[in-house]
Structure 1
């Protein structure tokens, strides 16, 4: 099969969450969906179920990604909610072997001692989140997942520590997705455009921000904005209001007139308006 969606979930709680996520994905994207799980469940909404009844370990995620039946795969964590189709990720795979977003918290980067980077990975190399991963079935990607699987340790609190070091050593061609394609709304995010992928608990839990609250807050504005998640709340700082924006442009115009004269100011303002309203079309 050429293209498809992959989930991995073990245990009743996570399987129920994956079902909720997959039903939403099915509404928005017309691609087959596979679930790797330890529970023999009803197929709907999944087109394919792969049973892995071994005890859960941190290496289960890379093992699951290796079992994808598709040439081009979009892997989604069980706690992913799509607000729109993300089929364009398949188009990215025409040029790259893998695409994923950075983790805004980068927790493992900050665990490193300044003089002794973890596992030889420089601090400047970012940490990527593995909740949304688009990838091709290439030898390089397979090698990356195999190394990731071997590097996962029982004492790791997340699988991203081992993934970061594996990706750093990999020769695959990968690209970074915009944060709107994996918005971890319990964290801080710099957004610009509508969030397509919400990443957080799908089941109600008073300890965490609710999905409904995140859906309501984060796409209230689509311009440049910052979101903050602090359990159990999520808030956004919206883009500049129109009065503030106009005041800033007038101050800029006045500065140009004072320094370079009114003709230069008119030319620069005309150039700005052309770029703003025609240059992006």
Structure 2
């Protein structure tokens, strides 16, 4: 494998709303983890990201953007140890300790919350794919992991896994990337660790339920971070993606 940098955070964002969300997410990384933890982004708006103060250390253009562009880029990480964050995330505590998990594990994600939703029950074998991720679907006791907070090592095995995910995702033509990810995780020999829920907090109700002696949020992953930007844009149609 070619030599890479030590550890860092990566994001993938396309379109003005999600790029603005990614800028805010990156700034939250810098605020809580320090300016020395590098943050890289792949985007279709590289000029905007490069001009965003206090956000990104490196920027690469996405040539063929789509809604799930992350599946095309995670294996290209510039780091040996990577924390991927969806654009609709906010880091609210120092999470640099996560990288030590990669001393023992290859991939780390938290469980997805949904179980009975139709999208969660879909499998690649039930799609039109000629190359399903697995010959038979995993049992319901093996639910999806949420790919919005994704910690991983850059090894030959992990890169091969991520490239395979890219392949089967496009072959399945399903709207959710976690369907094929779940099936690949079911059959992989890679060492997978399930992150505690505080590292991927999807809903405010969990924070409200935790008392001082229980889990405390580390990474918020909430739709409201995108909705807020959409509302701001609707209120001021002349506004553009922030770069200051």
TM above 0.5: yes
Matched positions, count? 202
SS at the partner of 2:225?
coil
Residue deviations 1:203-262 (CA, integer Å, cap 9, x gap): 444999xxxxxxxxxxxxxxxxxxxxxxxxxxxxxxxxxxxxxxxxxxxxxxxxxxxxxx
* Stretch of structure 1 that moved more, 73-82 or 36-45: 36-45
TM-score, normalised via structure 2 length: 0.75
- Is 1:75 aligned to 2:84, yes or no? yes
- TM-aligned CA deviation for residue 164 of structure 1: 0.8
- Kept after mapping to 2: 8 A contact 1:10/1:56: yes
Kept in 2, the 8 Å contact 1:101–1:177? The answer is: yes
Asked if the contact 2:17/2:230 (under 8 Å) is kept, the reply is no
CA distance in 1 between partners of 2:9 and 2:218 (Å): 16
**Counterparts in 2 of 1:205 and 1:28: CA distance versus 1, 3 Å:** closer
Question: Tell me, what secondary structure is at the counterpart of 2:146?
Answer: strand
Higher RCO structure, 1 or 2 (CA under 8 Å, sep 6+):
2
Which has more radius of gyration? 1
2:152 matched residue in structure 1: 135
| C-alpha displacement of 1:67 | 1.5
2:56 to 33, 46, 54: 46
Gaps of 5+ in 2: 124-133, 232-244
CA contact (8 A) 2:19 2:49 kept: no
Secondary structure of the equivalent of 2:30? Answer: helix
Structure 1 pair 51/199, CA: closer, same or farther in 2 (3 Å)?
A: same
Taking structure 1 as the reference length, what is the TM-score of the superposition? 0.66
The whole-number CA distance in structure 2 between the counterparts of 1:33 and 1:194 is: 24
Equivalent residue for 2:13? 9
Instruction: Pick the aligned partner of 2:201 from 183, 201, 213.
Output: 183
User: Aligned-residue CA RMSD in angstroms?
Assistant: 2.5
More strand by share: 1
Per the TM alignment, residue 82 of structure 1 is displaced from its structure 2 partner at its CA by: 1.2
**Offset from partner CA, 1:95-134 (integer Å, 9 cap, x none):** 111111000114444346xxxxx85122222210001011
Where in structure 2 are the equivalents of 1:183-202 lying within 5 Å? 183-185=201-203, 192-200=214-222, 201-202=224-225
